[in-house]
Structure 1
Amino acid sequence: MEKIYHISPNPLSFEIIETILNENYQLAISEEATALILKCKKYLDDKVAKEDGPVYGINTGFGALHNISISKDDLSKLQENLVMSHACGIGREVPRDVVKLMLMLKIHALSLGNSGVQLKTVQRLCDFFNNGVYPIVFEQGSLGASGDLAPLAHLFLPLLGHGEVHYKGEKMLASDMLKENGWEPIKLEAKEGLALLNGTQFMSSHGVYTLLKAFRLSKYADIIAATSLDAFDGRIEPFFPQLHTVRPHKGQIETARNVKAILEGSEIITREKKHVQDPYSFRCVPQVHGAIKDAINYVAGVVLTEINSVTDNPMVFPDDDMIVSGGNFHGEPLALAMDFLSIAMSEIGSISERRTYRLISGERGLPEFLVANPGLNSGFMIPQYSAASIVSLNKQMATPSSVDSIPSSNEQEDHVSMGGNAATKALKISDNVERVLAIELFNAAQAMEFRKPAKTSPYLENFLSQYREFVDFINEDKIMYKEIEKSVEFLQTGTFDEFSS
C-alpha cells in the first residue's frame, strides 16, 4: 500500500523526514495547505491588479535593479528570466538525497501560505518528488544571502522545461522528462520565480542530511570508543556517574552513561589494572563526545526552526493586507550553526584518530601495529596514516565560512552569510569522520582479538560479531583499503542495538 505524507502547516521533524526518505513516502498537499496557498495567491493577484506603485520583486527588477519598474504584461517573463539567469551553479553535483530534501523542504515552505505561488507549481514539485525526478543542482554558487539563489535556480529550471534531471537512472534534458510524463512546463506568474529562488533550502537540506548522519555517527563514536577502551585495557572509573553529576553538562552525562552501559559485563574492564590513568583520548571521552553531542543538538534546534520557516522574499500576509520586503532569506543562522557542526564533527575524528594511534603503539601488551609478527608485516601502521591525513584535512575545512563576506549585486547585497559553503563543508567533514571512525573500529576489533580468551561485554561481543561479517581478523599483511571500505560500509548499512543506560 502506498504511503503518503500530507504536507501541512504542521512542523516537520527529523523523525518525520527520515521516515519519509527511508520508507519512500509520497507527498501530497493537505486541504489546509491547499487553502493557504490559494488564499495567498488570490490576495497577491488582487493586489497586483489594483497596485500602481512599485512592489519589490513583483513589478520591479531584482537586487540592485529594484528601482526599475516592470509592466504588467512582462511580469511572467520577469520571473522566467530570473530563474534562467540565476542558474549559475558550478562544481560537483549535489547528492540526490540532498536534492530530494530540497524539494521536500521547499514544498513545505511554499505550503505555509506566505509566498504567493500557484497551487499547480507546488503540485508539480510534489510530482517531481513522487516520481523520482532529481534536478541537477551544483554544489558551488550560493552566497547564502538572498537565500540559495544559484542552487535553487537549478532546482526549479525543470519546472520551466529547462536544465537537466536524473530520472529513471538516466541523465536527461528536463524537456524530455516533461514530455515523457505528459507534463506542460509551468508558466510562472507574478513573484513566483522569486518565491522559488529566495530561500535557504540548499543550506537547510545539507543541514538536515548532515545532522541525520551526525546523530548516527555520534552513537557509533560512543560504541567504537568503548571498544577501543576495552581493547586498550582501559579503566572504567572515568565513566562513573558521580564524576559527571558535579559537572552536569547534558552530553557529558549521557556519554558516560552510554559507555558504562556498553561495557556492562566485560571481563576486561573489571580486571585489576597496573596503570592508574589512561590517556585523555580514552579518559576524556565523556567530556569530548559529550560536548560534541551538545553542539549537534544545538545545531539541530537551529535547523529545525529553519525548515519550518518561510524564507523567501517579499513576504505576503493576506490577513494583514501586507507585502513586506525583508531579509528572511539571509542564511546567517544556518551559516553559524553549520560552522559549529563542522567544528564539532571534526573533533569526533580528531579524538578517534588518537585512540587509533594508541592501539597500534605497542602499549599494554598489544603487539606493535596489531600484528603477531611485526617487521615482516606492517600490519595496521598505514590505516592510522590515512586517519591522520583525513583529520588534518577536516581541521582545515572546519575554518568558519561565516566570518567571511563578499559584497554582491552592486553593493545592494553588502553582507552575505556564506552559509552555502558552510553547509557543503559540514557534509564533507561528516563523511570524512565516518571514515575515521571506520578506521578506529578496524583497529579496535583487531586489538580485541589479542585480549582473548578474556571477553569484552555481551553488547560489544555481539557488535563485533556483526562487524566480523564484513571484515575478517588480519593475520598477515593484505590489501587494507578494501577492509577500510568494508568498515565504512558496516557503519553505513549495519544496525546496532540501542544500549540501555
Structure 2
Amino acid sequence: MELLLTGEHLTIDQVRQFIADKGSVIVADEAVERVKVSRKIVERIINERETIYGITTGFGLFSDVLIEETQYNQLQVNLIRSHACGVGKPFSQDVALVMMILRLNTMLKGHSGVTAELVEQLVFFINQRIIPVIPGQGSLGASGDLAPLSHLALALIGEGRVYYQGEETDSAAVLVQLERPALKLQAKEGLALINGTQAMTAQGVISYIEAESIGYQAEWIAALTHQALNGITDAYHENVHIVRNSQEQTAVAARMLDWLEGSKLTTRQGEVRVQDAYSLRCIPQIHGASFQVFRHVKEVLEKEMNAANDNPLIFDQNDETLVISGGNFHGQPVAFALDYLKLGISELASVSERRIERLVNPQLNGGLPAFLSPEPGLQSGMMIMQYAAASLVSENKTLAHPASVDSIPSSANQEDHVSMGTIASRHGYMMLENTRNVLAIECIIALQAAELKGADRLSLKTKKKFDEYRAFIPSVTEDRQFHKDIAEAAAYLRQDAYKA
C-alpha cells in the first residue's frame, strides 16, 4: 500500500496495514508547501538574528546562551551526538519504523521549521527500510523522547547504526551503498527531530495493534475452554449485557455466542450446574472492560500521531508569524493512556490463568484427568504450564505499576516535571508478551481438554480453530518440552495482528 501522509489524518489502522503490506509512504503536496513556508520563517529568524530557543540559543538550561551565527548548524549536530545516550535492548524494527513515520507526519503539519531535504531523507529511510537501531531505555518522556529520537537522527546523518536487509550495520555504509548522501542538519532541525513523543507513541501504537488482536484471540481460546468445561451459555444472553450499558461488554457476549453456536459441549443453566465460575461466566464483563480501555487508548494515540509536539512551534497566520516556546513535547497524556493500556492487557492474562487452573485441576475440570496427563503420576501432563502462566501473571502485576506517577527533575531543574511515558510504553509491551504467552498456554491446554471431551462435538467455528492449531501443536500423548509449543503458539497468535 501507499500511505499518504498529510500531518492530519494518520490512523492506527493505516499503520497496521502499512506494516502488513510492507508499504511505502508518500507526502501530500500541500504538506510539502507547509514545510517550505515554516522553513522560510526559520531562515528569516537566522538572517535577523532573533533570539529564539534552539535556533539561535542553546538548549535546556543553556537557553539563555546565544550561539554564534556560524555555529547554528554545528549546534544541531552537537545536540544529536550528545543526546544519543540510550541504553538497553533496542526497540523492535516495527517500532523504529513507526517512529520515523510519526516524526515525519508531525513535521508535515508545518510548525517545525525543517527543510524539504529532511522530509525527503525520512521518506527515503522509511521506503528503503533503513531502520535505525534505537536503544529502548533512557527517555524521561518530556522535552521529547530525546535519547531514542537522537539515535534515529544519528542514522539520518550517517553516524548511527541501522538494520538493513536483515543485518545490523553502520548507516554510513548503507548510504554509500545506495549512493545517498547523509543529511546535513540545518538550523533548528536537530531539535525538530528529537523534541517529541514519537518513541512512546510508536511503541504504544504497536502495543495497541497487538493488544486489540490478542483481545479477539482470547475469545475463541476462552470458547474452547468453555466447551471443555461444559460451560453455561445463558450468561451470554444479550438481555444481561444490554442492561449494563456497555457496548464492549455486549459485543464480547455476542461474539462468544457466535463462537459457541452449534456446540454439543455447552450446557444451559441447571443442566450440570446453576452457575459457572466468574472466569467463564464473566468473560463479557472482564474482556469487555479491556476493550473499553483499548478504545480510549486508541483515541489518545491517534490524536498524538497527528499532533505538533516539538518546540519551539512556528505559526504563519493572518499575515503574522509567531515562534512560540511551549511544552507539547511533554508526554503526560500519552503516559496516562499507556499506563491504562497495561491494565487492559494484564486482566486478559489474569482471567486466562484462572481458566487454565480450572482445566488442569481435577476438582474443577468436570472429570478430565488431573493436569490432563496421559498417565497421571508417571507423566505430569500440563501441571507446570499452569505454574508458568501464574508466574507471568504475577510479573505483570509488578509491571502494571504506573510509570506516570513518577517524575525526576532534569537539566538543573529547568525541566522539573517529566512523564516517564516511554517507560510505560516499554513495560506495556513486556506485559503484552507475557499475556500472549499465557493465552498460548491456555490455547494448548484447551485444545487437549477439548480433544478429551470430543473435538467432534465442538462448535463449527471453534472446530476450525482446533484443526488450524492442531496442525502444529500435536495431541499430548506423552510428556514433552512444552516450551516449544508455547513459543510456536505465541508466535502464531502474534501473526494475526498483521494479517493483510
Instruction: Give the TM-score of the pair, scaled to structure 2.
Output: 0.96
Q: What secondary structure, in the 3-state scheme, does the structure 2 residue paired with 1:266 have? A: coil
Matched ranges for 1:352-367 at <5 A: 352-362=352-362, 363-367=365-369
| Equivalence for 1:37 | 35
Stretches of structure 1 lacking an aligned partner (at least 5 in a row): none
Q: 1:269-316 CA deviation, whole Å, 9 max, x = no partner?
A: 146732111111111111110111000111111001000111110000
Alignment of 1:420 onto 2:422? yes
| Equivalence for 2:245 | 248
Q: What secondary structure, in the 3-state scheme, does the structure 1 residue paired with 2:169 have? A: strand
- 8 Å Cα contact 1:4/1:26 also seen in 2: yes
Give the distance between the partners of 1:276 and 1:7, measured in 2 at CA.
55
1:26, distance to aligned residue in structure 2 (A): 1.5
Alignment of 1:316 onto 2:318? no
Q: 1:202-247 CA deviation, whole Å, 9 max, x = no partner?
A: 0000010000101100101111111111111111111111111111
1:492, distance to aligned residue in structure 2 (A): 2.5
| Equivalent residue letter for 2:417 | H
Identify the match of residue 282 of structure 1 among 268, 280, 283.
280
Give the distance between the partners of 1:409 and 1:453, measured in 2 at CA.
63
| Equivalence for 1:19 | 17
1:261, distance to aligned residue in structure 2 (A): 1.1
Give the distance between the partners of 1:392 and 1:453, measured in 2 at CA.
32
Give the distance between the partners of 2:116 and 2:453, measured in 1 at CA.
64
Give the distance between the partners of 1:4 and 1:222, measured in 2 at CA.
33
Give the distance between the partners of 2:251 and 2:496, measured in 1 at CA.
23
1:48, distance to aligned residue in structure 2 (A): 2.4
1:168, distance to aligned residue in structure 2 (A): 2.1
Matched ranges for 1:131-280 at <5 A: 131-270=128-267, 273-280=271-278
- 8 Å Cα contact 1:268/1:454 also seen in 2: no
| Equivalence for 1:102 | 99
Q: 1:346-379 CA deviation, whole Å, 9 max, x = no partner?
A: 1110000010000000131111101242111100
Q: What is the number of residues matched between the two proteins?
A: 494
| Equivalence for 1:460 | 462
- 8 Å Cα contact 2:3/2:14 also seen in 1: no
| Equivalent residue letter for 2:303 | T
Give the distance between the partners of 2:455 and 2:278, measured in 1 at CA.
28
Give the distance between the partners of 2:7 and 2:391, measured in 1 at CA.
46
Give the distance between the partners of 2:219 and 2:21, measured in 1 at CA.
27
| Equivalent residue letter for 2:149 | L
| Equivalent residue letter for 1:91 | G
- 8 Å Cα contact 2:2/2:26 also seen in 1: yes
Q: What secondary structure, in the 3-state scheme, does the structure 2 residue paired with 1:206 have? A: helix
Matched ranges for 1:326-405 at <5 A: 326-362=326-362, 363-405=365-407
Give the distance between the partners of 1:218 and 1:460, measured in 2 at CA.
16
Identity of aligned residues (%): 39
- 8 Å Cα contact 1:60/1:70 also seen in 2: yes
| Equivalence for 1:478 | 480
1:185, distance to aligned residue in structure 2 (A): 2.2
- 8 Å Cα contact 2:409/2:415 also seen in 1: yes
Q: What secondary structure, in the 3-state scheme, does the structure 2 residue paired with 1:116 have? A: coil
Instruction: Give the TM-score of the pair, scaled to structure 1.
Output: 0.96
Matched ranges for 1:490-501 at <5 A: 490-493=492-495
Q: What secondary structure, in the 3-state scheme, does the structure 2 residue paired with 1:402 have? A: helix
| Equivalence for 1:66 | 63
Deviates further, 407-416 or 366-375: 366-375
Deviates further, 245-254 or 352-361: 245-254
1:496, distance to aligned residue in structure 2 (A): 12
Runs (4 or more) in structure 1 with deviation over 4 Å come to: 494-497
Q: What secondary structure, in the 3-state scheme, does the structure 1 residue paired with 2:356 have? A: helix
Structure 1 residues 223 and 90, CA, compared in 2 at 3 Å: closer, same or farther? same
Question: RMSD across aligned C-alpha pairs, in angstroms?
Answer: 1.6
Deviates further, 268-277 or 173-182: 268-277
1:4, distance to aligned residue in structure 2 (A): 2.8
Give the distance between the partners of 1:83 and 1:324, measured in 2 at CA.
22
Alignment of 1:291 onto 2:314? no
Q: What secondary structure, in the 3-state scheme, does the structure 2 residue paired with 1:189 have? A: coil
Give the distance between the partners of 1:370 and 1:397, measured in 2 at CA.
31
1:5, distance to aligned residue in structure 2 (A): 2.5
Deviates further, 192-201 or 165-174: 165-174
Matched ranges for 1:70-85 at <5 A: 70-85=67-82
| Equivalent residue letter for 2:5 | I
1:30, distance to aligned residue in structure 2 (A): 2.0
Give the distance between the partners of 1:105 and 1:495, measured in 2 at CA.
20
| Equivalent residue letter for 1:224 | I
| Equivalent residue letter for 1:294 | Q
Structure 1 residues 453 and 469, CA, compared in 2 at 3 Å: closer, same or farther? closer
- 8 Å Cα contact 1:370/1:380 also seen in 2: yes
Q: What secondary structure, in the 3-state scheme, does the structure 2 residue paired with 1:66 have? A: helix
Q: What secondary structure, in the 3-state scheme, does the structure 1 residue paired with 2:231 have? A: coil
Deviates further, 210-219 or 241-250: 241-250
| Equivalent residue letter for 1:23 | D
Q: What secondary structure, in the 3-state scheme, does the structure 2 residue paired with 1:435 have? A: helix
| Equivalence for 2:434 | 432
Give the distance between the partners of 2:169 and 2:5, measured in 1 at CA.
29
Q: What secondary structure, in the 3-state scheme, does the structure 2 residue paired with 1:374 have? A: coil
- 8 Å Cα contact 1:9/1:32 also seen in 2: no
Q: What secondary structure, in the 3-state scheme, does the structure 1 residue paired with 2:265 have? A: helix
Deviates further, 141-150 or 364-373: 364-373
| Equivalent residue letter for 1:440 | E
| Equivalence for 2:453 | 451
Deviates further, 486-495 or 388-397: 486-495
Q: What secondary structure, in the 3-state scheme, does the structure 1 residue paired with 2:109 have? A: coil
Q: 1:459-488 CA deviation, whole Å, 9 max, x = no partner?
A: 111111111111011012122111212221
Give the distance between the partners of 1:105 and 1:357, measured in 2 at CA.
42
| Equivalent residue letter for 1:421 | I
Q: What secondary structure, in the 3-state scheme, does the structure 2 residue paired with 1:5 have? A: strand
| Equivalence for 2:490 | 488
Q: What secondary structure, in the 3-state scheme, does the structure 1 residue paired with 2:454 have? A: coil
Deviates further, 198-207 or 241-250: 241-250
- 8 Å Cα contact 1:470/1:490 also seen in 2: no
Stretches of structure 2 lacking an aligned partner (at least 5 in a row): none
